[in-house]
Amino acid sequence: MNGDELSRVLNVHKVMARAYADDRLHRVGICDMRSFVIAAAWVFTIERPRENYWVRVAELVRIRPESLWLVFSDDAPRFQPPQSAQPRECEAAVLKRGKEGVCGRRGTHSFRVTDPSDGTWRTAAYCTRHEAEAKTAFAAEQQMRRSRIIPEPDANTGGLLPCYFRWDWESCYAQAVRGWKPPRLGIRADDWPVMARAVPVRPARLTLVAGAGEDVVPGRPEGAGPLTVVGDGR
């Protein structure tokens, strides 16, 4: 083994150690992101097969090559509201035994409510008894959006693959998610402020179709500049 090979092996070991310690890597959609990172590091630095590298990564993590786009779309940096495990409950204010509280019945109407200061949003819900309150809150949201310029919310989800691999991820995400735009704070989750950093969210599939009408399989990395493994990352 020459020096170059040795350094590549050591690099993969570093990536593996980081990936095992990185609790942001979890199962997203169809794929366990920790396995994906490790498989990609292995294929791109050690195995370096003749075939398309990504196809080999897909094979190792047991997904179809076309599904690579879903992995990339799930990793596209974006804002995602924290999701509660509870089914959405009606949030209309009610008096309960003389105290102010919320209704709490199962919500049937739901819509986005935006925080105009930072553009983050959550889903508000109201039950059938509180349709009037729902209408009022919905109208207030519409009015606020019409009258103010709402900032783009900072990304808090995705952006993990660029923490491990240097590549033209912006092009990749833009191809995986129609209409995707790079977030203000950059595409690497490592660069986001701690408060905004990826909180585990349930795998909510983006409503946009990944890779529709584009290449079936992501191109060989050489097409977009070489993909290299980020050394020790920080």
Chain residues that interact with Zn ion, rule: CB under 5 A = 90, 92, 103, 105, 127, 129-130
Contact 208, 178 (CB under 8 A): yes
DSSP string, 173-190: HHHHSTT----TT-S-GG
Largest pairwise CA distance in the chain: 78
**For Zn ion, the closer CB: 90 or 155:** 90
Degrees to nearest 5, angle at CA 65 with 203 and 34: 45
**For Zn ion, the closer CB: 19 or 127:** 127
d(CA 76, CA 71): 9
Q: Report, in angstroms and rounded to the nearest whole number, the Rg of the chain calculated over CA atoms.
A: 22
Tokens of 68: 């690579």
**For Zn ion, the closer CB: 135 or 181:** 135
Least distance between Zn ion and beta carbon 145 (Å): 24
d(CA 210, CA 207): 9
**For Zn ion, the closer CB: 28 or 103:** 103
Degrees to nearest 5, angle at CA 164 with 160 and 165: 110
**For Zn ion, the closer CB: 8 or 129:** 129
Least distance between Zn ion and beta carbon 133 (Å): 7
**Residue 129 exposure: Cα atoms within 13 Å on the Cβ side:** 11
Least distance between Zn ion and beta carbon 85 (Å): 20
Least distance between Zn ion and beta carbon 32 (Å): 39
Least distance between Zn ion and beta carbon 104 (Å): 7
**For Zn ion, the closer CB: 78 or 130:** 130
Q: DSSP 3-state helix, strand, coil percentages of the chain (rounded to 5)?
A: 40, 15, 45
- Would you tell me how many other CB atoms lie within 10 Å of the CB of residue 138? 17
Least distance between Zn ion and beta carbon 111 (Å): 15
